[in-house]
Amino acid sequence: MNEQVFTMCMYTGATVLAIWVYVCLPRLRPATVGRAVAHIAVSFAAFHLTPFLLNACGRILPAPIAAGVAVAIVVVPALSYIYVSWVWLIARIAQNLSRGPRGGHLARAAGR
């Protein structure tokens, strides 16, 4: 397997995992748009830390094991969290837009 195929499979697997989390674990979905945006910020921060975790895996574990551990325990979960946080935000915005107007006073036609 060359590098391009591996990378594409890793991104595809992370995307499928994120969709599975969205569909099968609805209790994890954020209740508001603000919380969904907060999940995106946390996911970016977590992904920003992945190079440091990969470096630590490379120093602690032997080379053949470090690569598998790095991908399975660090990269795929971080990518999946980024993807699922964006799915949560898009779904929350779509739900808010599909509800229609909320509250307010009824408008009366002029002359009635």
In this structure, is residue 90 part of a structural domain?
Answer: yes
In a domain, 19, yes or no: yes
**pLDDT tens, residue by residue, 4-33:** 998 899 999 999 999 999 999 999 999 999
Question: Residue 112: is its pLDDT beyond 80?
Answer: no
Whole-number Å distance between alpha carbons of 6 and 53: 20
Q: What is the pLDDT of residues 41-87, one digit of tens each?
A: 999 999 999 999 989 988 998 888 888 888 888 899 999 999 999 99
- Cα–Cα dist 39/42, whole Å: 5
Name, in order, each residue with C-beta under 8 angstroms of 46's C-beta and a sequence gap of 6 or more: 78, 81
Q: pTM for the complete prediction? A: 0.81
DSSP state of 107: P
Name the residue type at position 68. G
pLDDT at 111: 64
Q: Is residue 77 part of a domain?
A: yes
The reply to whether 107 falls in a domain is: no
Q: What local confidence, expressed as pLDDT, does residue 5 receive? A: 92
CA distances from 2 to 5, 7, 34, 42 (A): 6, 9, 41, 32
Total domain count for the chain? 1
Q: Tell me how far apart the alpha carbons of residues 13 and 47 are, in angstroms, rounded to a whole number.
A: 17
Is residue 111, in this structure, part of any structural domain at all?
no
CB 93 within 8 A of CB 54: no
In a domain, 102, yes or no: no
Residue 28 lies in a domain: yes
Question: By residue range, what is the domain housing residue 54?
Answer: 3-95
At residue 103 the predicted structure's pLDDT band, cuts being 50, 70 and 90, is low
CA distance 4 to 23: 29
